[in-house]
Amino acid sequence: MAKRLQTTSALAVVVMMLVSACGSSSPSPTPGASAAPSAAAPSAAASAAASASAAPSAAASAPPAAAVPKVPTGYTELDKALGADLPFKGKTVSIQTQWIGGEGTNFAASVADFATATGIKIQIDSIGSSHETVLKTRIEGGSPPDLAMLAQPTPILSYAAKGKVKDVATFMDAKKLSAEHPATIGLVTQGAHIWGIPYKADVKSTIWYPIKAFAAKGYKVPTTWDELIALSDKIVADGSNPWCVSAGGPGDATGWQLTDWVEEVVLKTKGLAYYNDWISHKVTFEDQGIKDAFAKVGKILFTPKYVFGGNTAIVATDMKTVMDPMFTDDLANPKCWMQKIPTWYGPDFFPDQRVSGQPSKYVLGTDVGIFPFPTIDPAQKNVEGSADTLMVLVDRPEVRAVAQFLATPEGIQNWIRAGSAISANSTTPADWYAGAYKLKVAADIANSAAGIGFDASDLMPGKVGAGTFWTQSVQWANNGGTNTDAVLKAIDDSWPAQ
C-alpha cells in the first residue's frame, strides 16, 4: 500500500508530461472560438453495437497511416508480430472491456489496424456494467479472457495476490514501460513486479457548461472557489439553478460522482500528501480536513436552489440524463449551467446523440465547453485523474504482442483521432491531440497542475472505495447533508482491520 502511495505523487509530475506538449503549444486556457468541430464526428458511430469484432470503422475517415507502431518497437513479440512472415496470423486474442456504445466503437477502432497488419484476430468481449462480475467469475473460474481492462487498481493487485495476473515485467522491458507510463505504472507496481499496463487516462477536474448561454448572460468562467460561489449565487439570483448533479447511477454505481466531488476538494484544499495519507487511512474520514471538504461540497450540493431539483434530484437522477436540463431550447435557456464530470464524458451523452446515435448537433468547444475546476487554496493546484489499466491473464506469444501493442501510443491512436481519449503513454506525440477541444482542455488542466491525484475511491479498499464511501455519500446527499458526522464515522468504522 505504502509503495503505491508514493507513486501516486509521482503521478503528479508525469501525467502532465503526457499532455504537456499539447498544453504548452496552446497557452490560452480559455475554451471557445478556435477549436474545430472535431470531437463530434468520430464518436458518432455510437449507434453501432459494441460488436465483438474489431470493425475497421475508422478506416473510412482516416486517410492517415494505419495506427501501427514502427519496428523495432522495443518489445520482442510485438516486433515478431509485425514481421513480414506474420507469425501470429489467424491466432485469436480475447480482451474483455467495460466499453460499449461509443467507447466500445472507439476501442474496436483502436485495435483494428493492428489486427489487419498482423493477422491476429482480436476478439473484444464488451460486457458493460457486468464487467467486474463476469471478469472475476472468469478469472477465478479458470477461463479468463487473455487480456482485460480495469479502471481500478485495487482489484488488479487483489488478482495479483492470488497469482491470477501475469507479471508484464517478465516479458516487457520494465524500464521502458515505467519510463513511458511514469504517472500511472506505480499504481500497479510491487517491487520488481508490474501487474498491468496503463492504457487510457482521464482528467476528472472538469466542469462542463453551455458556452453561448454563458456569453449571453455575461457569466465568466470562474477560476477560484469564491468566483464559483459568486457565479452560482448570480445564476440563482437570475432565477435559474446553477448545477446539474447526479450521484451516479443507474443502480449499482450510484455514488461515485459524490466521491469525486469530495476528492477534488481534498486535493485542492489539503494537497497531495494529505490526500495520499487519506487513501491509506493515516488520515481518517473524521479528520477535520475531510470534514471541511464535505462542508465545501455540501455548500454546492445543499445550498437552496444551487442544484436543479435539489438534493433529491442528486440521488434520484440518472447520470445519463442529468445534464439534459442544460439543453433546454437548444442550450439557449439552460435550466442548469454546470456539471462536474470527467473527460470521458462527451457528445454521446448529449440528449440528441444519445437517442439518435447520429452526431450531436451541439459542438464541443462552440456550444458546450469545459473549464477546469477552480482553485480553492492557491497553494494546492492539484487535479484529479483516473486511468484504465490492461491486465495480462494468459501468457501466449500473440497475447504478449497485443499487450505490447496496447502499451504503445499507437495502441490508442485511433481513439485519440476520434477526439476522445488521452493515452497513458507519455511518449504519445503531442500533435496527435491537436484540434481536439476536449483533449486540449485536459492537457491544459494537467499542465497547469502542481500534482495529480489518482481517484481515491479507486485506491481505497473495495469495502470503502466501492462500498461505504459511495453508499454513505449517497445517504449524506439524500439527507441534505444534515448527517455529516454520522456518515464520516460510518465510513471510518467500515475500514477493514489490518
Partner 1 sequence: MTASAQPIESARVARVAAWRPLFVRSLPLRLSVLAICALWTLPTLGLLVTSVRNPLNITTSGWWTALLNPFAPNQWTLSNYQTVMASDGMGNAFINSLIVTLPSTVIPITIAAFAAYAFAWVPFRGRGILFTIVVGLLVVPIQMSLIPILQIYSAGNLYGSFLGIWLAHTGFGLPLAIFLLYNFISQLPRDLFESAAIDGASHLQAFTRIVLPLSVPALGAFAIFQFLWVWNDLLVALVFLGPGAEVRVLPTALFQLIGSRGGSWHLLTAGAFITMVVPLVVFLLLQRAFVRGILAGSVKS
Partner 2 sequence: MAVARTENPGLSRFVLPIAGLIGLGLCGAGILVLLDRQGGPHLLASVYDLLGNSAGATALRNGSGDQVIAKILLAAIALAVGVGGIWLLFIGVGSLVSLLRPRWRDRILPWLFVGPALLLLAVFLVYPAAGTILRSFTDDHGQFTLRNYAVMTESDFTQILRNNAFWLIVGTGGSVVLGLIFAGLFDRIRREALAKTIVFLPLAISLVGASVIWGLVYAWQPAGQPQIGLLNAIVVGFGGQPIPWLTTSPINVFAEIVIMVWLQTGFAMVVLSAAIKGVSGEIIEAARLDGASERQVFLRVIVPMIRGSIITVATTIAIVTIKIFDIVYVTTGGRFNDDVVANRMFHEIFQFFDDGRGAALATLLFVAVLPVMYINLSNFRRQQRGA
Per CB under 8 A, 158 contacts partner 2: yes
Q: Which of 470, 476, 487, 491 binds partner 2 (CB under 8 A)?
A: 470
- All cell numbers assigned to 272: 497531495
Q: Would you say 248 or 451 has its CB closer to partner 2?
A: 248
Q: Kindly indicate which of the ranges 106-114, 344-352, 407-415, 481-489 contains the residues binding partner 1, using the contact rule CB under 8 A.
A: 344-352
Binding residues for partner 1 restricted to 222-281, rule: CB under 8 A: none
Q: Would you say 94 or 240 has its CB closer to partner 1?
A: 94
Q: Which of 220, 282, 320, 463 binds partner 2 (CB under 8 A)?
A: 463
Q: How far is the CB of 282 from partner 2 (least distance, A)?
A: 21
- All cell numbers assigned to 403: 499487450
What distance in Å separates the CA atoms of residue 100 and residue 49, rounded to the nearest whole number?
A: 7
With 0-12 CB in 10 A as exposed, 13-18 as middle and 19+ as buried, what is 422? buried
Q: Kindly indicate which of the ranges 166-174, 200-208, 313-321, 414-422 contains the residues binding partner 2, using the contact rule CB under 8 A.
A: 313-321
- All cell numbers assigned to 294: 464535505
Per CB under 8 A, 463 contacts partner 1: no
What distance in Å separates the CA atoms of residue 288 and residue 294, rounded to the nearest whole number?
A: 10
Q: Which of 77, 132, 180, 348 binds partner 1 (CB under 8 A)?
A: 348
- Rounded to a whole number of angstroms, the distance between the first and last alpha carbons of the chain is 12
Q: Would you say 152 or 382 has its CB closer to partner 1?
A: 152
- Binding at 61: pick from partner 1, partner 2, none (beta carbon under 5-8 Å per type): none
* DSSP states along 392-438: E-S--HHHHHHHHHHHSGGGGHHHHHTT--EES-TTS-GGGGTT-HH
Please give the order of strands across the beta sheet that includes 241-243.
Answer: 241-243, 336-340, 206-210, 368-372
User: Which residue, among 437, 431, 384, has the nearest Cα to 201 in the 3D structure?
Assistant: 384
Q: Would you say 227 or 318 has its CB closer to partner 1?
A: 318
Per CB under 8 A, 238 contacts partner 2: no
Check whether the bond before 63 is cis (ω within 30° of 0).
no
Q: Indicate the SS3 state at residue 488.
A: helix
Per CB under 8 A, 315 contacts partner 2: yes
Q: Which residues bind partner 1 (CB under 8 A)?
A: 46-53, 94, 96, 98, 100-104, 123, 125-130, 133-134, 136-138, 140-143, 319-321, 324, 348-349, 351-352, 354-357
Q: Which residues bind partner 2 (CB under 8 A)?
A: 132-133, 136, 154-155, 158, 250-255, 308-310, 312-313, 315-316, 461-463, 466-467, 470-471, 474-475, 478, 490, 493-494, 496
